[in-house]
Chain A
């Protein structure tokens, strides 16, 4: 269930990336063909920025769920599995704490931006929209981090390894 949400969000982020690509390319073509009466898309940079923020926050739960964060395991690969499971538990606990703080502060930031009616420079769109868009992925990110923590606790107690990582080659 949790994995499915992360999967859907990752795909939604991918669709937004394609949308950013199309908007940017259309804007370049418009700028190149001003002589023919076309023009660049107003505020294309702002669309790119808001879209990128949404996409990256939406990608975070998928990466977290697949334990896809880059790490160095050369020095620890010989350690017994029991020790590694405890390591994983500590890391997942730290992740849960840190991500909770990040998303809590981001929520406060969202409330600030909502209250002060700040808008973007060109499109005059409220800045809190960007925060709200990112919040979708961010809330899922916190949830996934708790899910991973629980999973690690279970792994330590039962003495089993994590489900096979879906991590693809980078």
Chain B
């Protein structure tokens, strides 16, 4: 078999291993090691490479942002910030029709600004908001659907670990990606609120009413949110303005969130230990996948497969927009099955060179940003698409009396909102790009 064929066949083999429940990092690592041996006909180059590559990967400065962001997210999760955000958001929005569900979306968005994980956002906000939603007479379908969808804001609104990985794989500026993800993230939150508003008008029995909080109380509620906004602004703004590197920004965020959690009184010794252990588990999991992807990608580069296939596809004269839609649909399907980080590490080294061969009327850097945000959004839609979205399972398991079919029904308005928003962002790249264009003057 030629190196090209080895590269070509390795991909379905890795996917088959993954679907047979082999851990994703292990599947890529084994395929990379064996593949390199088959291409080179000797174990020695790989054995020489392995002398340093574990240590250099785990001590890469640009990757050290990941454990720091994860620690920040754990501080936010365990420090009781979620309930403070929800209470404030409920006082501001709760009296509207469907307002408590909208408040849950708003709180998810705010929480997403200090936490980079979808499942964590869905799980934390679910614990706080589900009982409240049920007390105020919201149907279980709407309550679970809204929270599953709200969770996806965790990864969309920066900081986002997946965007960091995308930036490193495609050699893009992390700060510009963060800034560009912000507007689509806010649009997502608004879209979800509109979906709730329409849903409760069509199904008047699905939501109870709640009296308006006094003005003074609503103002005080707004002031409770400012520390979170301050941390978010400092981290993303500071990275963008060049005050500090992305890793330093993450350190600022971790310290800020940690102090806030202590000030809130949520950070007991027990909770601190939990935060460390959870950070350890997720960090190790992510870095093992990164390591596996690195070995697999060095094999792919050796096989020349990504370069050749990109040239072949570019020479077919295909319509760029058809290709883009096909790629996004592929990500939607994969997103139902696999977590977004693994999928990006597995596919971007092959898909990205193909996509950069097409002309979408954008400068190369702008295309990379736009494509990255689109992929991120589509992957997240996969998290809430029945029958297999992970967020749906997380939220449903927290609401014991809710059948899974009700959650499936409840999430449909939100998936619809996602599809409409994605179509708009595909048709108008400027929506994603205007903020970064504005800021870089």
Contact = CB atoms under 8 A, between A and B. Distances in A.
A binds B: yes
Interface of A: 7, 10-11, 13-15, 17-18, 20-22, 24-25, 27-28, 32, 45, 48-50, 52-53, 55-60, 62-64, 66, 68-76, 84, 87, 91, 94-95, 98, 101-102, 105-106, 108-109, 112, 130-131, 134, 138, 167-170
A54 to B, nearest CB: 9
A73 B280 contact: no
Contacts of A28: 243-244, 248, 251-252
B394 A169 contact: yes
8 contacts: A20-B251, A59-B281, A91-B23, A106-B50, A109-B50, A109-B52, A130-B55, A168-B281
Given A28-B244, A53-B59, A167-B281, A74 B26 contact: no
Contacts of B23: 69-71, 91, 95
Given A76-B20, A134-B54, A21 B255 contact: yes
B428 interface: no
Given A28-B252, A71-B23, A74-B388, A55 B289 contact: no
Interface string B31-66: 001000000000000010011101100111101100
B356 interface: no
Contact of A24 (B52, B248, B284): B248
Contact of B277 (A11, A101, A134): A11
Interface string B244-257: 10011001101100
Interface of B: 18-26, 29-30, 33, 47, 50-52, 54-55, 58-61, 63-64, 67-68, 71, 117, 119-120, 123, 243-244, 247-248, 251-252, 254-255, 258, 273-285, 287-289, 337-339, 341-342, 388, 394
A163 to B, nearest CB: 16
Contacts of A10: 276-277, 280-281
Nearest to A101: B50
Contact of B59 (A22, A102, A130): A130
A93 B23 CA distance: 13
Contacts of A72: 18-19, 21, 24, 337-338
Nearest to B52: A109
Contacts of A7: 277
A56 B273 CA distance: 17
A24 B235 CA distance: 13
A90 to B, nearest CB: 8
A32 B238 CA distance: 12
A74 B337 contact: yes
A62 B255 contact: no
Contacts of B58: 52-53, 56-57, 134
Nearest to A32: B243
A136 to B, nearest CB: 13
A141 B339 CA distance: 24
B26 A69 contact: yes
B276 A14 contact: yes
B280 A91 contact: no
A79 to B, nearest CB: 9
